[in-house]
Amino acid sequence: MPLYEVNEKLVLKEIKKLQPLNYNKFMWWRRYTSKTKPLHKSSDLLSKIQNGDYEFSQFYWQAKYTELEINEIYDECYPDFSKFNEKNAVNGARRKRLWDDFEKEEKGRLNQIIKDFYTHFKMEKIQVKEEMEEFGNSIEKFYIYCEKKFGKRNKPLSTRGRPKKIK
């Protein structure tokens, strides 16, 4: 009886899509990274969407992979729980940090999506949230939907900071 319910085939399929990382003593719990690098923040919204900058976080699959390893250690050490705790210490810490990274990244991506759609289209932030909740399809189709329904902003929103020089 495993500790965690994990679909092994799906997790291994998703892990193969990621690029292995070399060991890093500052980020030791991370073993993989996405093969595509995120575009610069000033890039076009549609380009970011097509690049996969707003896709599901890869930390989820790393955490699930770690849970697979914990299940294997559990099966190996079943009656002896002290042996299991010894062998599982690193994986337990890795799993916790990966779930923390996943939650942090997903929250950040959602906030960034809302901000980018707000600055790109003629909509309010509350409207973006409400439309996203009702839409229920891919983000690229949501972009097309917003383009038709709301239209793009003619002039970018004014930002804080130093004003441009007047010549």
35/17 Cα distance (integer angstroms): 8
Per-residue pLDDT at 96: 95
C-beta separation of 91 from 3 below 8 A: no
166/108 Cα distance (integer angstroms): 36
pLDDT for 141 beyond 90: yes
Locate all alpha helices (DSSP H) within the chain, ordered by sequence.
8-16, 45-51, 59-76, 81-120, 125-135, 139-149
Instruction: Report the SS3 class of residue 128.
Output: helix
Per-residue pLDDT of 87-134, as tens digits, reads 888 888 999 999 999 999 999 999 999 999 999 998 899 999 999 999
Per-residue pLDDT of 41-86, as tens digits, reads 888 999 999 999 999 999 999 999 999 998 888 888 888 888 888 8
**Percent of the residues in the chain that have a pLDDT greater than 90, as a whole number:** 57
Residues 6+ apart with CB under 8 A from 12: 65
* Chain centroid, CA 147 distance in Å: 25
Give the type of residue at 61.
Answer: W
The strand pairing partners of 32, in sequence order, are: 20
Residue whose token pair is 């990382």: 21
Average pLDDT, the chain: 89
Q: Which long-range contacts (CB under 8 A, 24 or more apart) does 75-83 make?
A: 75/2
pLDDT band of 158, cuts 50, 70, 90: low
104/58 Cα distance (integer angstroms): 12
Residues 6+ apart with CB under 8 A from 48: 38, 39, 54, 116
When pLDDT is averaged across residues 19-31 and rounded to a whole number, the result is 92
pLDDT for 156 beyond 70: no
Kindly list the domain boundaries of the chain, sorted by start residue: 8-149
Per-residue pLDDT of 1-15, as tens digits, reads 677 888 889 999 999
Per-residue pLDDT at 77: 83
